Amino acid sequence: MSSTFNSTRVFISSTAQESLKPLRIKLEERLKAAGHLPLLFEKNFGFWTDDALSDCLDKVSDSHVYLLFISDKSGSFTHIDPKITATYAEFHRAKTDDLVIIPIVESHIYNFFIEHIKRELDFRIERFIKEHDREPDYTYDIVLEWFDQMPESNPVLWDRIQSENVDPFNWAFIYDVYRDTPWTYNFPLANADKACDFVLASLSNILRSVAPYYNMLDSLVSMIDEAEILSRFRESALEFNRCLKKGTLNVELLLSKLSYYLTGGPIYHNQSPLIRNAIAKVSECEAICLYRREQDHLELVGFTGSSDPQKSYMINDLKSYVASTYQKNDDTVENIFYNEESQKIYLTKKIGDLIISAHFLLSEPWSEKRVKSYEHQILNAIMKEREQFDIAIDLIGGMLK
């Protein structure tokens, strides 16, 4: 018996439909005989926790090769993100972890996709990008919108699509796979023996082509546990309290300490916890300014960082992000503004008669429309230290109102 320690770990992924079971079982046998270590959820995943999806994703990360079969059924959608299936989450993890991905689509479905689906999705996605200056969160949303219109706009094509009896999600899945992988194969999957021959030949060719940079190192992701988070919260509260002396708030010192916690970070394409595509970065905080209303003006109270702030704004100056924030008259939200010329992002918040404005640099030039489209993701990148920000805001509001 060959040792599995140095074997290529191959994760076999597909929906758990009956028509694919013979192929999965036969492929496991053939991969073992070829000296590989196949990983199947129904065979050798070991102990399961209460989070089966997380277990599967961990197994994907432990693999070297991700083998994906797509047929007509989509399988179950995940509870944590109802717009994607568990199989799609596995595919995305394989892509994120830079695994060798070998996708194989049922032949007649693949051919129908190329002939009738792909071109229209290309058009609709390009149109979405032109309108919103960003890609859609999910290709599935584009498919559903198209299919909702199709019974009236193109009933002949709609009848043909229905006759294929393919779950709508799979058209989106195939589109993403075709777009995001260097190769997408098609093969009749009903003949398990011939399909196995095709898979093994493809695997051999691909492994040979990637041998120069094939990486056997396992990636580890560290998690901050609850005790560390609480410790950091306590530490920040003590730091902010040091800005108080004899009942007076040292504004510049507090703003300086707050800027330390606004570290920026990656902007992700959408907010799904299962799909993390970084598209740009927000820098660490460069400067923070604090203004207070004095009659018809907003006057500078204090600032920190690399900024030469304007001392005063007219309260009705709509060209000013500070004045615009005051005019919105909403103390419950953070606002995002963007200056295309300087490539700067401004996070502002109203606190009674006070306005705080934090400045960040965007890693690449974007349009205002694109920044607006990604406003929530930008806020998430900036506000990783939510508790620390709220402590500082409460302290400012309590001492200076």
- How high is the pLDDT of residue 191? 87
SS3 336: strand
Q: What is the DSSP string of 170-183?
A: HHHHHHHHHHHSS-
- How high is the pLDDT of residue 216? 39
Angle at 54 between CA 385 and CA 233, to 5 degrees: 20
| pLDDT (mean) for 382-397 | 82
Question: Is the model more confident about 226 or about 223?
Answer: 226
- How high is the pLDDT of residue 6? 55
Whether the CB-CB separation of 286 and 266 falls below 8 Å is answered with no
Helix 155-164 and helix 139-153: axis angle, to 10°? 120
| pLDDT (mean) for 355-376 | 95
Asked which of 91-95, 189-193, 229-233 is least confident by mean pLDDT, the reply is 229-233
Angle at 268 between CA 260 and CA 285, to 5 degrees: 20
- How high is the pLDDT of residue 183? 85
> Which residues have CB under 8 Å from 176's CB, separation 6+?
88, 91, 139
Q: Which domains does the chain have, with CATH numbers?
A: 9-213 (3.40.50.10140), 226-400 (3.30.450)
Nearest to 343 by CA among 271, 398, 280: 280
CA–CA dist 147, 131 (Å, integer): 20
What integer best gives the mean pLDDT of the chain? Answer: 86
CA–CA dist 297, 314 (Å, integer): 5
141: pLDDT strictly greater than 90 = yes
Predicted TM-score (pTM) of this structure: 0.68
Using a 10 angstrom Cβ sphere, with 0-12 exposed, 13-18 middle and 19 or more buried, the burial of residue 70 is buried
> Which residues have CB under 8 Å from 394's CB, separation 6+?
none
Helix (H) or strand (E) holding 249: strand 248-249
What is the tens place of the pLDDT at every residue in 284-334? 999 999 999 999 999 999 999 877 889 999 999 989 999 999 999 999 999
Nearest to 82 by CA among 272, 250, 339: 272
DSSP for residue 116:
I
Q: How far is CA 116 from CA 109, 119, 163, 321, in A?
A: 10, 7, 13, 48
- Strand stretches in 82-230, DSSP E: 100-106, 185-187
Residue 8's pLDDT band (boundaries 50, 70, 90)? confident
| pLDDT (mean) for 115-133 | 95
Asked which of 188-197, 222-231, 317-326 is least confident by mean pLDDT, the reply is 222-231
Whether the CB-CB separation of 27 and 38 falls below 8 Å is answered with yes
- How high is the pLDDT of residue 330? 92
39: pLDDT strictly greater than 50 = yes
3: pLDDT strictly greater than 70 = no
69: pLDDT strictly greater than 80 = yes
Residue 109's pLDDT band (boundaries 50, 70, 90)? very high
- How high is the pLDDT of residue 215? 43
210: pLDDT strictly greater than 90 = no
What is the tens place of the pLDDT at every residue in 230-280? 555 566 666 666 777 666 788 888 888 889 889 899 999 887 878 888 999
